[in-house]
Amino acid sequence: MAPAKVPPTTVQRLPVYLRCLVQASAMHMPVVNSVQIAEMAGTNAAQVRKDLSYLGEFGTRGVGYDVDSLITHLSKQLGLTESRRVAIIGFGRLGSALQSYPGFEERHMRVVAVLDADPAKIGTSVGGVTIESVEDLAAVVTRERVEIAILTVPGPAAQEIADHLVAAGVRAIMNFAPVRLRVPEGVEVRQADLAGELQVLSFHLNPRTAAV
């Protein structure tokens, strides 16, 4: 995990920088400077230098950053050098799509449990994982040593399931449900609001608001 002194806004940009560095590596660029990273990341060079300075002394003035070294360091800071155990709660269309998403393995994250409330789905196998009942959530989380939970359940059920996850020891939740979760200090929640983002795009396409 990144050191506590790293601001949350910087932490949010670190995966973007890592993606840019991986892209640079694929382009056979052994060294990149802050201007190049900024162009790929959609920010500015000063912000890149400030963000990376929180992680230590990197780069050579007038030259830039060694791409492979910085990829390794950012991967360590983001906890991507060790496998993270993930559970998906809610196996509808979104949960099914996420379960088969290849990006998990690429980022050292492994889906070790899938849970649902539908009796017709419980007991079936998906990608080598057997769907289990959400009623057994605490036992499954403990048995599989789940670290990250992904919620793709209806809004009314999300808070109760989040409470059970926290009680079972889960400290990281990605929430796709259209509600804000209330969790105690020490539990990190990321809200994935796909509908909201689409509505923002729609706003910008609306001729009535184009001049706003």
SS (H, E, C) the chain: CCCCCCCHHHHHHHHHHHHHHHHHHHCCCCEECHHHHHHHHCCCHHHHHHHHHCCCCCCECCCEEEHHHHHHHHHHHCCCCCCEEEEEECCCHHHHHHHCCCHHHHCCEEEEEEEECCCCCCCCEECCEEEEEHHHHHHHHHHHCCCEEEECCCHHHHHHHHHHHHHCCCCEEEECCCCCCCCCCCCEEEECCHHHHHHHHHHHHCCCCCCC
Mean pLDDT of 68-80: 88
Instruction: Assess whether pLDDT exceeds 60 at residue 212.
Output: no
Instruction: Assess whether pLDDT exceeds 80 at residue 13.
Output: yes
Instruction: Assess whether pLDDT exceeds 90 at residue 120.
Output: yes
Q: Residue 83: what pLDDT?
A: 85
Mean pLDDT of 139-154: 96
Q: Residue 1: what pLDDT?
A: 44
CA dist., res. 199 & res. 124, Å (int): 36
Instruction: Assess whether pLDDT exceeds 50 at residue 76.
Output: yes
Instruction: Assess whether pLDDT exceeds 80 at residue 177.
Output: yes
Among the residue ranges 110-119, 137-146, 186-195, the one predicted with the least confidence is: 186-195
Q: Residue 3: what pLDDT?
A: 47
The CATH number fitting domain 8-77, selected from 3.40.50.1820, 1.10.10.10, 3.20.20.80, 1.10.3720.10: 1.10.10.10
Per-domain residue ranges for the chain?
8-77, 84-196
Instruction: Assess whether pLDDT exceeds 80 at residue 176.
Output: yes
- 62, two tokens: 């007038």
Q: Which residues of 87-113 are buried (b: 16+ CB within 10 A; e: fewer)?
A: bbbbbeebbbebbeeeebeebebebbb
**Percentage of the chain exceeding pLDDT 70:** 95
Q: Residue 57: what pLDDT?
A: 76
Q: Residue 200: what pLDDT?
A: 82
Confidence bin at 63 (pLDDT 50/70/90): confident
Confidence bin at 103 (pLDDT 50/70/90): confident
Instruction: Assess whether pLDDT exceeds 60 at residue 46.
Output: yes
Indicate the fold that domain 84-196 takes in CATH. Answer: Rossmann fold (3.40.50)
